[in-house]
Structure 1
Amino acid sequence: MEAKAIARHVRVTPRKARRMVDLIRGKKATEAITILKFAPQDASLPVRKVLESAIANARVKADKAGEPFRENDLVVKETYVDEGVTLKRFRARAQGRAARINKRTSHITVVVANKEGNR
């Protein structure tokens, strides 16, 4: 069984979020949560929330199908970060000039699935 969660327009740059996503790809879901919990980067919080949401979605899906749910059997099958809308801001500079500041957003997607051997 597969479950998916997406967080859109998260105010973290895609480059920084991808660092966190690369840490958890292919790991057990419970292990991935622990990794993200102790990661010092700020981008780990939104990624962890999306992962927890995907696990909750898997639980709901299993309940609807009448299947037993074991969180320890879940694996992070697929994770990726896409670039969202860029908020454009300006900072005042010397001699009346303005410099552009790009505040980037991310779309974080996490897919969890059961291990292949435990169907």
Structure 2
Amino acid sequence: MEARAQVRFARHTPMKARRVVDLIRGLPASEAQAVLQFAPQSASETVYKVLSSAIANAEHNFNLDRDTLVVSRAWVDEGPTLKRFRPRAQGRAYRINKRTSHITVIVESREPKGRTR
């Protein structure tokens, strides 16, 4: 069983948010939260909240155990771009693109693999 959470129109560029999402893909959920807490990127706070929401959805909606959850899929899509203008010299104007992103995290329950020696 899998649970998902999504944030839309997050004010992070998709390229920078993908760097953070790539850190947690495939990790156990508790380990992914620890990685995100200490990641220096600004998008890590938003991704942490989405991951926490996905874990809460799995616990509340599907009665899954928090310890067996793994980040099975996570991706970032590009949202709409806010177009702004910056005044420049001699009456010119330069466009500034303020990009947004849609961040999706899916966690699923997997049995922990037993350690073999």
Give the TM bin, normalised by the shorter chain: over 0.9
* 1:85 aligned counterpart, secondary structure: coil
| 1:9 shift after superposition | 0.1
Q: Unaligned stretches of 5+ in structure 1?
A: 64-68
- Give the alignment partner of residue 84 of structure 2, picking from 86, 89, 98: 89
- In 1, the alpha carbon distance for the partners of 2:62 and 2:16 equals 33
| Residue of structure 2 equivalent to 1:103 | 98
What percent of counterpart residues are identical? 62
| Residue of structure 2 equivalent to 1:66 | none
Structure 1 runs (4+) deviating above 3 angstroms are none
- In 1, the alpha carbon distance for the partners of 2:103 and 2:111 equals 24
Q: Unaligned stretches of 5+ in structure 2?
A: none
Moved more, 54-63 or 70-79: 54-63
TM-score where L is the length of structure 2: 0.93
Task: Provide the alpha-carbon RMSD of the alignment.
Answer: 1.3
* 2:80 aligned counterpart, secondary structure: strand
- In 2, the alpha carbon distance for the partners of 1:33 and 1:42 equals 15
